[in-house]
Each structure stands twice: as structure tokens, then as C-alpha cells.
Amino acid sequence: MATVLQFNQFPCKTLSKTPSHSHSALRPGILPPNSINTITAITNSRNKLEFSQSIRARHVFPVQAVNEEGAWVPDKEGPVAVAEEEKPKEESEIEKLKRALVDSFYGTDRGLQASSETRAEIVELITQLEAKNPTPAPTQALTLLNGKWILAYTSFVGLFPLLSRGTLPLVKVEEISQTIDSENFTVENSVQFSGPLATTSISTNAKFEVRSPKRVQIKFEEGVIGTPQLTDSIVLPENVEFLGQKIDLTPFKGLITSVQDTASSVAKTISSQPPLKFSFASRNAESWLLTTYLDEDLRISRGDAGSVFVLIKQGSSLLTS
């Protein structure tokens, strides 16, 4: 009994599962003066953060479909990406030079009417383009050479008499072109003429051989004068004004109609004939051409005596600029 009584006299403490400091943290009387405001601010900030996260989560929450059996169909495509607005591509330096070169041809009649200042500007633009040639070996890119090319400018004086209207009265040169067949190694140079009642063409057929990465040798085989094709009839106005006086042209309509009918019958007779072909003398049957710039729609070539030819691919937007 004495032993039991002595054991009971030992002081003992009851253990608690909750730490003592947790009780004091919830008792306002033990906290520092500004603790309540601090806890309130932290709680509000945390609530705002959780709310913001829930809003963002709600925006990207995937929508799933239900099949006929009521089961969820998994979304295999993932979140839908919003396409960004495409920015317009800036024109490259080469494209700017090409546009400037084509613009400088305006009013020059393929070079016939170009002034010395305009020629100097054209030569400078050509030189800059040749320095940026994207096809350093044009003869190894025959697919780019292939097709019909329209002559836009030349310094070859041999063409100037042909372009001059004084050589062929009432006849206009509509188009000068060069068609290259890279598979058969043939070249066709063609000039189309138009007159009051008909159109015709003169062309040359040639073969070419590759002599270097930029140079081809051309051997002309034959020339062809095309059969004239009838055009629209002449339209005579009712009257014209000359020196302040109106002149009635009605009495002349019968005469014009008679002349037109005669010319049409002659043209029909000629148009039924096959094209006229002729051969070249051997001493004048060869030439060479050096391509110094080539891309999908512009070609610059140099020939005999340093002459320059600028040609544009048929269908290119450069022809309408």
C-alpha cells in the first residue's frame, strides 16, 4: 500500500493528439496584434488564386461526345489550336529589282524608243539582277528554260528596223517571242505582225547545244512565213472633224465596203495556202546565247556584240504589271 501511494503522488500530464501551439494559433489573445489581418489577407489571396485557376481550367476543359451506347468517346485530337493571323510576306530584294526593271521598260517599245538615261537605268538594274542570279548554271536547269518567253526589252540593233513602223506601213509588231523545247533541244523565234485586215508571223526554227553552264550554241535550220489570218472589219465613223468643220463620210462607206470585200477575198485565198518555208545560208546559220539570269518568270540573255535580251515567261504577272 505504501508503494502504491507513493506512485500516485508522482505528478503526471495528459498527452494530447493536437500540438499545444496549434491551440494557441487559434486563440486570438495569444496572437500578435496584426496577425488576424495578415491571415485574412492570405486567405483572400489564396481564394482568388484558386478561383482564377478554376476559371482557366474551365476554358480548356475538353468536351467529349457520347456514342449511341452512352459511353464517353475519348478526344483523340486534343485541344483545338487557334490559327494565328498570317502576316503578309515582304517582297524580296530580287522581286523589287525585277519590278523596277519591268517598270523601266514602259514607253520604250522593247528598247527602240528608250532614251540614253533610260538605257543606263536598265543596264544598272540588269547588272544588279545578274549579281543575284538564283540559277548559276541555267543550262543545267532546262526545266526552267523550257516554255514560251516574251521579249520585253533588247539592245540588239538588228531588231530595230523590224520594230520601226516606217519599215512596214500600217503594220505593227504585236509580239516577239522565243519558245524553247528542252526535251528536243529546239528553239523557235517568232515575230507576230498585225495589219488592217489580217495578222501573220515570221518564225525561225533552230537546234541548240549546251556548251557551258551558261552558254548554248544555236544553229538555225529554217524560216517560216505564217499564213495570214483575217481580223475584224474596218469600222468607218459617220463623220470626222477637220479644221473645225465636220465632214460627212457616209458617201464613202460604199467605197470602203467594196475595198474591204476585195481585200477579204484576197486574204481568204492567201489563208488557204500552207506556210512558206525557206532555208538559211550556212555562214549565217549559227549564233550563241549566254543566259546570265534565270528564274521561273524572268530571263536575261546576252548575245553577239554584247546585245542584251530581257524575256518574261508567258503567263507571268510581270507581263501585266
List pLDDT tens digits, range 12-48.
444 444 444 444 444 444 445 554 555 555 555 555 5
Residues 220 and 249 in one domain: no
Q: How many domains does the chain have?
A: 2
Residues 129 and 239 in one domain: no
Residues 166 and 297 in one domain: yes
Least confident of 39-43, 153-157, 174-178, 260-264: 39-43
Nearest to residue 60, comparing CAs of 83, 46, 81, 85?
Answer: 81
Rounded CA-CA distance 204/207 in Å is 10
The stretch 60-68 carries a mean pLDDT of 52
Question: Please, what sign has the CA dihedral across residues 132, 133, 135, 136?
Answer: negative
Residues 97 and 213 in one domain: yes
The rounded mean pLDDT for the chain is 75
Residues 157 and 265 in one domain: no
Q: Give residue 158's domain range.
A: 93-227+274-316
How far the first Cα of the chain sits from its last, in Å, is 123
Residue 148 pLDDT > 70: yes
